[in-house]
């Protein structure tokens, strides 16, 4: 009986965490700007460890947090299953820090 109650509590906690994550992703989806087609455009290509690619245009004036939010959203939408990531440039080789909340798109 105790195991059943424990499993129910764990299931409820997992369901609540999933619902919270989904709500956060919907908030991110609403604030990511429409992909620009004109202006000072920067095209970024993100390559995931499994080889999957995400490519999108941003304005040069867009905050770096939009890029991080877009990656979070893409990972969530495609259920890629890695909660953390490092963003690296290839030329010159440089790892970009995952900036704090004040630097994200909402800050």
Confidence (pLDDT) at 4: 67
Count Cα neighbours of 70 within 13 Å in the Cβ-side half-sphere.
20
Nearest 10 degrees: Cα torsion 49, 54, 56, 61: -30
pLDDT digits (tens, 9 = 90+) for 24-47: 989 989 988 889 999 999 998 888
Q: Is the per-residue pLDDT at 69 higher than 70?
A: yes
Q: Residue 84: pLDDT band by 50, 70, 90 thresholds?
A: confident
Q: Is the per-residue pLDDT at 88 higher than 70?
A: yes
Confidence (pLDDT) at 58: 92
* CA-derived radius of gyration, the chain: 17
- Who has greater pLDDT, 11 or 99? 11
Buried b (16+ CB within 10 A) or exposed e, 75-96: bbeeeeeeeeeebeeeeeeeee
**pTM of the full structure:** 0.69
d(CA 7, CA 103): 39
Q: Is the per-residue pLDDT at 104 higher than 50?
A: no
Confidence (pLDDT) at 18: 87
CB 60 within 8 A of CB 90: no
């Amino acid at each position: 009986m105790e195991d059943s109650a424990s499993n129910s509590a764990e299931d409820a906690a997992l369901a609540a965490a999933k619902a919270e994550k989904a709500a956060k992703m919907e908030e991110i989806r609403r604030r990511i700007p429409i992909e620009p087609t004109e202006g000072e455009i920067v095209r970024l290509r993100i390559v995931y460890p499994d080889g999957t690619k995400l490519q999108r245009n941003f304005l040069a004036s867009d905050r770096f947090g939009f890029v991080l939010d877009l990656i979070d959203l893409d990972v969530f939408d495609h259920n890629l299953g890695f909660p953390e990531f490092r963003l690296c440039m290839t030329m010159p080789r440089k790892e970009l820090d995952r900036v704090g909340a004040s630097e994200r798109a909402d800050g």
